[in-house]
Amino acid sequence: MVYSRWRRKLPDWLTVRPVELPGRGSRLDESLQTDLCALARQLAKELRPELRRPYAIFGHSLGALLAFELTHALRELACAPPLMLFASGTAAPTRREDYEKGYAQAKSDAELITELRELQGTSEEVLANHELMTLTLPILRADFLMCGRYRYQQRSRLDLPIRVLGGTEDRSSLEQLRAWGEETASDFSLDMFEGGHFFIHEHERQVLETIGDGLSTHWDRTRACVATHY
């Protein structure tokens, strides 16, 4: 739903294609995934027929890590690479030590709600809604496990630009964000925004300008963008 709003706010030459993950939305009847690399391979096979035009990939938080692994999975399928990878709101794949410690074991409902409060992106009214939390917490539990159980694989660098977006008050340090530069044999840049983990909502206009400006230098105005989100 977040990315659907972007359709109205990005330039006309840029098409947004939100990626829905198994176990939610229209894919609610599918099993939730806790293996991020397996999910990336699944999505790569699903998206492969759609990638006939040049494209970019954007992911925020866990979605950024998934976008990174999706890019590698598409390369394994011999697909044309994205023109740019946007990684937003999370540490680089080689700097996941904080996440491995905190998320590798399944969290209780109370622990998940505490985590949501600390991320400051969910209202107390939503957290207090028992019916909504009953639907949401199993998805969040699987996502946290997927994050905590991820293990980096050493591979050749991606031959495409990586542009990283970070929040000044988010948990990822500048060193963890800059480490994304180790994953590309091409250009790397880092843009910082005021705010915490959900700076992409607080500064949506600036974030979209960053995406549009970055892509406008790499393609003509007939392209598509794939987005993943946590």
Helix axes 130-148, 36-47, angle to 10 degrees: 100
Backbone angles phi, psi at 226, to 5 degrees: -100, 135
DSSP H or E segment with residue 62: helix 62-76
Q: How far is CA 203 from CA 93, 167, 193, in A?
A: 25, 10, 7
Question: SS3 for 56?
Answer: strand
- Residues 61 and 168: their CA atoms lie apart, in Å, by 14
Active site (annotated) includes residue 61: yes
Number of Cβ within a 10 Å radius of residue 109 = 13
Catalytic residue, chosen from 4, 61, 123, 156, is 61
- The encoded tokens of residue 122 equal 């969910």
- Enumerate the active-site residues: 61
